[in-house]
Structure formats: C-alpha cells, structure tokens
Amino acid sequence: MDVMEALFMNGGEVESSYAQHAFFTQKVTSITNPILVNAVHSLFSKDFQWKKVLNMANLGCAVGSNTFSVILTVKENLERKCMELNCQPPEL
C-alpha cells in the first residue's frame, strides 16, 4: 500500500468522509460547550491559586477547527473570568 493511500482522508459527503465526522464532532462540541464554560468558571474562582501558565492538551485525534474552537472557548472564558476577578490570565 502506498503511503498516500494509507494517509488519504475520505472526501465527499459519504458516511465515512471527514466532512461527516467533523460535523459530528462539531455538534458534540456545541452541545457540551455550556459544561466547558461552567468548568472554566468553577475552576478559576477567587480561591484558585493562580499560576502563570495553564497547560492544555488535546489527547484525542481532533483536527482543525474542532480542536481550535474548544481551545478558544477555554481562552475566552478564562479571560472573562480574569477580568471579573481583576487578575492577569495565565499564559496558555
């Protein structure tokens, strides 16, 4: 099997295509977004020991905009919480 064949992404609109799988991930991300926002707000409270750096890792195999949308949600909500608490947000 050629390397290009092994790493080829299924195109089009068929059930096994990347577009269909990305849509499912996007839908799940959208549904779970309020849980993520609540977790960020709960974690970063006045009692939290603020650190200069917050490490995040993608332990799955998400690709492209699906991964970045989750990271962006955490970043934006962390910045909002820091503004609310009048503190510097950690480096991500």
Mind listing the pLDDT tens digit for each residue in 28-72?
A: 888 989 998 998 888 877 666 667 788 887 776 655 677 788 888
Residue 38 is assigned to a structural domain of this protein:
yes
* Residue 20: predicted pLDDT: 63
State the chain's mean pLDDT as an integer. Answer: 75
Domain that holds residue 71: 3-85
Residue 35 is assigned to a structural domain of this protein:
yes
Cα Rg of the chain (Å, integer): 18
Dihedral sign for Cα 72, 74, 79, 83, please: positive
* Residue 5: predicted pLDDT: 53
pTM of model > 0.85: no
* Residue 9: predicted pLDDT: 54
> Higher confidence at residue 71 or residue 7?
71
Residue 56 is assigned to a structural domain of this protein:
yes
Residue 90 is assigned to a structural domain of this protein:
no
Residue 29 is assigned to a structural domain of this protein:
yes
Number of residues in the chain = 92
The DSSP line for 2-50 is: -HHHHTPPP-SSSTTSHHHHHHHHHHHHHHHHHHHHHHHHHHSSTTS--
pLDDT beyond 80 at 74 = yes
DSSP 53: B
Number of folded domains that form the chain? 1
Residue 91 is assigned to a structural domain of this protein:
no
